[in-house]
Every structure is written in C-alpha cells, then in structure tokens.
Structure 1
C-alpha cells in the first residue's frame, strides 16, 4: 500500500477547501455540475481521440499502481538469481528446470526457460531486452494518456470559463442569471487547473517512476541470467547485481 498517494491527495484537497473556508467562502461554491461536465467531459473526450482501446484499458489498469505499487524488490531478486546460480553450478542448467513452473513472474519465467534451454548468453540477453523494451514502451504509452489529460484539462477549464462568460453576456438584462454564469466561469477554471495539477499529472509522474523501476529491475534480471549462462561465479554475480540496487 502506497500511503503517500493517500496523504498527498488528502493534504492537497484539505489545503484547497481549508483555504476557501479561511477566506470566508463555502465549499458549496466550489461545486458546480455544469463546469464539471464541461471540463472533465471535454478533457476525457480530447484524450480519447488520441488513444486506442488497448492503451486505454492498460491505462485504467495501471491506476491502481498509484495506491498499490507492484512489488519490485531488487534484493529479493538478487537472492533468487544467486540461488539459481548455485543450483546451476551443482546440477547444471537442466537442474533449474524445476524452478520454471514455480516462478510466477512471467518475465523471470521466460528468462529461466531460455537459460534451461541452453541458449547463448548474448542471445538470451537480446531476447529479454526486446521483451523489456516492448513492455516499457507499451506502459509509457498508457502513462501518456494521463499526461494528455493533464495537458488538456487547463484548456478545457478556459473553455468552461468562456462558456460561462457567454452566458453572463447573454443575460445582462436578467440579474438572476448572472450569478450562475460567473460561477461556472471561475469554477471551470479551477476544475481545469486543479484536476491537471492535483490528479492527472501527478498520476502520470508516479506511474512513470514505477515503470522505470520495473525496467531497472528487469535489466538486473537479464544481467543475472546472462551471467549464469556464462557460468560466472555466484559471488561475482551477487556483487555485479548489487550495482542495480538504488542507494
């Protein structure tokens, strides 16, 4: 569980609503359904135009990473690779065959399978690097959906503001209509800028960080498997792989 996401959201919204109250305003004045429809609906509509269905589905699946990050434990991965190395030195590469079905991580399972099949170290490395690059590229495409939301939201806020002002200008003779039009104009701007900077862009940045952490972990796995294929000493493997552990 990533508690910082919850803390950040709570802190941000408390600061905004708290500031509004301290200035003598009310929370209700920040709630405007027409402005919400214009900004959020327009923002998602614009982002959907540039996104295909596969990327969209992956993007929504990745949102949960902001709250429950995928487990990336380099030290556990190093321990696993060293154990594989020790087993390979004692029983040969075929001795690792029993570990294939036990491995739940698809990427590591594929690497282990290539290792057991006796592939050349460079071919194993190249094959896994292609997997890594394709996976990272697809994840970044989904992250860009949230970046797009963050880019379009402020502009949609301006659109909402202009629409509100159009309503005001068209009802100058009816004072009862002026309040709602002005409220939509200003609240739409808040929704656009606020959603971009409190939700969409932070989500994109957090997911990018997670994707890069996963890629670094997989690079470590690739290096470890290639070293095992080369018959390197387990102690040397352990020392080399600890270079991948963030300090």
Structure 2
C-alpha cells in the first residue's frame, strides 16, 4: 500500500470538510445533487467523449495503483539477473530454461525465453524495446484520462455556478431564496475545483510516476538480458544495472 496516497486522501478530505465547518458553511452546505450531476456526471461524460474504449478500460484497471502500486524491487531484480548470468556462463544459456515458467511477469518471461532460444542480441533489443514502449504508451494514455478529468471538472463547476445563478435571478422578487440559491450555485464551483485538485490531478500524477518507474525497470531488464545473452561478466552486469537505480 502507498501510505502517502492514503495520508493525502485523508488530509484532502479533512481540509475540505474541516474548512467548510470552520467557515460556518457546515457539512450540509457541501451537498448539492444538482452540482453533483452537473460536475461529476458532466466530467465523466466529457472524458468518455474524449477517450477510446481500450484506453478508458485500461484507466479503470490501473486506478488501484494509486493506493496499491505494483510491487517493484529493482535491487532484487538485479541480483536475480546476476545469478542468471553466473548460471549461463557456467552451464550455458539452456540452463536458464527451467526459470522461464517461474516468472509471473509476461515481459520478463518473454525476454528470458529469447535468451534461452539464442535470439540475436540486436533482434532481442529491438523486439523488447518495441513491446516496452507500447506498454508505456498504453499506461501513460490511461493515466492521462484522470488528468483530462482534472481539466474538465473546474470548467463544469463554473457552468454549474452559472446555472445556479440563473435560477437565483428568476427569484429576485423573493429575497428569502436569494442566500440559499447563491450558496447552492457556488457549491458546483467547489465540486469542480476540489475534485480536480484533490482527486483527479493528483491521481494522474501518481499513476504517471508508477508508469515511469515500470518503464525504467523494463529498460534495466532489457540491458540485463542483452548482457546475459552476450556472455558478459556478472560483476560488469551488476555495475551497469546499478546505474539505473540512480
């Protein structure tokens, strides 16, 4: 679990609810079904119009990475590749074949299988880099779905406020309704700005960070597998791959 995301979500909720209470608006002042429909549903509608189905589906699948990012241990991965290199130099590349099916990561499994099959290093690099770049593009596009929601939400909040003020203008002859109507109008603005800056944009940044770390790990993996295929010294491989950690 990403403890910083949990703390951030809690603090954001406390800031919004606590601020409303301290300012005297109360919790009830934040609730507005009309504002919810205009801002939240409107934001969802906008992003659905913008996003292809496969990208939106991927965004839904990776949203959990905000709080539960995929486990990453580059130090352990480097140690494993050094062990693979030592084994291959002593027993040959075919000695790595039993390890292929033990890997849960499809990318790593395919790369290791290429090493066992004796694929030329240049060909292996080209194939793995194409796959890594394609995956990086898919995941980055999925993370930008939430970035788009963070862009649309404040604008829809303004639309909600304008619609609320239009309703207020129709009741100018009844002063008793003016205060409540104006407050309800600005609730939509709060929904838009708060959802963008406390939810959607931070989620997008967090996801893009996870995606970037995965890409760096794939690049490190490609370098390690190529070095194993070329029969480099395990210590040299370890020194080269440690550069990715900085």
Give the drift of 1:28: 1.0
Find the residue that maps to 2:15 and give its secondary structure: helix
Give the drift of 1:69: 0.8
Residue 123 of structure 2 is matched in structure 1 by: 123
Aligned counterparts of 1:17 and 1:50: Cα–Cα separation in 2? 32
Q: Does the Cα contact within 8 Å between 1:160 and 1:184 map onto a contact in 2? A: no
Residue 208 of structure 2 is matched in structure 1 by: 208
Establish whether residue 45 from structure 1 lines up as the match of residue 45 from structure 2.
Answer: yes
5+ unaligned residues in a row in structure 2: which ranges? Answer: none
Give the drift of 1:176: 4.8
Residue 105 of structure 1 is matched in structure 2 by: 105
Give the drift of 1:192: 0.4
Establish whether residue 11 from structure 1 lines up as the match of residue 11 from structure 2.
Answer: yes
Q: Does the Cα contact within 8 Å between 1:146 and 1:204 map onto a contact in 2? A: yes
Aligned counterparts of 2:182 and 2:147: Cα–Cα separation in 1? 29
Find the residue that maps to 1:102 and give its secondary structure: coil
Aligned counterparts of 1:180 and 1:61: Cα–Cα separation in 2? 41
Residue 236 of structure 1 is matched in structure 2 by: 236
Give the drift of 1:3: 1.2
**What CA deviation, in whole Å up to 9, does each residue of 1:185-237 have, x standing for no partner?**
10000100100000000000000000000000010000000001111001110
Q: Does the Cα contact within 8 Å between 2:29 and 2:184 map onto a contact in 1? A: no
Give the drift of 1:178: 3.0
Superposed, 1:16-31 pairs within 5 Å as 16-31=16-31
5+ unaligned residues in a row in structure 1: which ranges? Answer: none
After the TM superposition, which segments of 4 or more aligned residues of structure 1 sit over 4 Å from their partners?
A: none
Q: Does the Cα contact within 8 Å between 1:39 and 1:153 map onto a contact in 2? A: yes
Aligned counterparts of 2:57 and 2:27: Cα–Cα separation in 1? 34
Aligned counterparts of 1:145 and 1:165: Cα–Cα separation in 2? 30
Q: CA RMSD in A?
A: 1.1
Aligned counterparts of 2:20 and 2:184: Cα–Cα separation in 1? 17
TM-score normalised by the chain length of structure 1: 0.96
Establish whether residue 71 from structure 1 lines up as the match of residue 71 from structure 2.
Answer: yes
Aligned counterparts of 1:129 and 1:193: Cα–Cα separation in 2? 39
**What CA deviation, in whole Å up to 9, does each residue of 1:168-188 have, x standing for no partner?**
111222345434431231000
Aligned counterparts of 2:176 and 2:44: Cα–Cα separation in 1? 32
